Amino acid sequence: MIQPKDLFEQLTSEQVSFFTGVPDSLLKSFCAYVTDHAHSNTHVIAANEGGAIALASGHYLATGEYALVYLQNSGLGNAINPLLSLADPEVYSIPMLLMIGWRGEPGYVDEPQHVKQGRVTLNLLQAMEIPYVILEATTSDWQGVIGSACRQMRDRQGPVAIVVKAGTFEPYQLNDHDEAEYLLTREQAIELIIDELAEDDIIVSTTGKASRELFELRETRGQEHGGDFLTVGSMGHSSQITLGIALQKPDRQVICLDGDGSVLMHTGALAIIGQMAPANLKHIVLNNESHDSVGGQPTASPNVDYVGLARAMGYRLASRAVTRQEVQNALRKMSANEGPCFLEVRVKKGARKNLGRPTTTPLQNRENLMERLAQ
């Protein structure tokens, strides 16, 4: 296995002087080391992967030095446009390294949303004509592999990818970064939300642990899952799925359970919700100021006024809650008012260690929801 410290030091010796991206669970040890050791001006956790490509491009234009963009392979979709229309050697020819966590690698068991991504990852890079190397725990001369990728990046004056398999890095624990400590866990907040729902309400939950917690709470309570859409992938898009349902089912209250990292990834979605103004849409952001599902790296949320943002985007009602009573009061007020309504709930970072995963497939989830919506 590779020590994150050793890789970081080799990259900096290769004139890689800037790090940016969206954290990934396979890369979490390396991302955590960068978060703890890179200077604040040389590391930016981006809102989305396309933005990270643009940040890396700006760094090269300003310094002539190289950047590394880290991302999960599912994030390649967000990065395709700037990779091909900005960084490509046939356009602005901007050299950079891409470090891509290979979720769903063929031959290994993974979650449904990663299996397809994993199968086509190398094909996507080939289609984009981006050279790549593969890094894994058993790579004997990993320094040589990295050195070769850096030389190729410099020679072609364009992006080169390092595709990282599961288990490549030695564990590294992210240091505390003056994190705020709130009263409720995310799971406790979701339980309060469930308590206030009507029987025919619909929930669309964002990717990651929020959907897993919602599923397990339903199981524990012996409740059906038909009214819940668990967005197991597609980070940042749960609010637009919610909007699509709400516009066509105006007689049903439709709730989006979102996360702060998800909102930041596609913030413009809030403007579309405000513009369309569905009276039945309620948008709840569980804000723990971190990318909790992929290692707990911080988001930009401490600097964001989500309530003010929602109001500016056209939501009719927007509020913030921290305590159990505040959450209950805010939920009841939302139910009594026409939307779109917005609620930010400040929650603790982290989840219980024995948190499971949904036992239904995405297709079963879709069919159950459509059956419920047709009633």
With cut-offs at 50, 70 and 90, classify the pLDDT of residue 177.
Answer: low
Residue of 13, 88, 124, 19 lying closest to 132 (CA atoms): 124
The confidence band for 179, taking pLDDT boundaries of 50, 70 and 90, is low
Q: Is the pLDDT of residue 352 over 80?
A: yes
**291/213 same-domain check:** yes
Same structural domain for residues 192 and 106?
A: no
Residues 294-346 have pLDDT tens digits of 878 889 999 999 999 999 999 999 999 999 999 999 999 999 999 999 999 99
Q: DSSP letters of 131-193? A: -EEEE-TT-TTHHHHHHHHHHHHHHHTSEEEEEE-TT-BPP-PPPP------SS-HHHHHHHH
- Domain edge (last residue) among 164, 194, 217: 164
Number of independent structural domains in the chain: 2
Q: Is the pLDDT of residue 114 over 80?
A: yes
8 Å CB contact between 111 and 138: no
The answer as to whether 290 is a domain residue is yes
Q: Is the pTM of this model over 0.75?
A: yes
43 and 34 in contact (C-beta within 8 Å)?
yes
Residue where a domain terminates, one of 164, 199, 225: 164
What is the structure's pLDDT at 178?
Answer: 58
**Chain Cα centroid distance, residue 245:** 22
Do residue 226 and residue 154 come from a single domain? no
- Distance between alpha carbon 116 and the CA centroid of its chain, in Å? 18
The CATH number assigned to the domain holding 134 equals 3.40.50.970
Q: Where are the beta strands (DSSP E) in 210-262?
A: 228-230, 254-259
* Residue 64 DSSP class: S
Asked if the structure places residue 327 within a domain, the reply is yes
Domain residues for 10?
A: 4-164
Nearest-angstrom CA–CA distance, 53 and 46: 9
CA distances 245 to 263, 316, 370, Å, are 18, 19, 10
CA distances for 107 relative to 97, 113, 118, 246, angstroms? 26, 15, 10, 39
Residues 231 and 152 in one domain: no
In whole angstroms, what separates CA 332 from the centre of its chain?
A: 29
Tell me what the pLDDT averaged over the chain comes to.
94
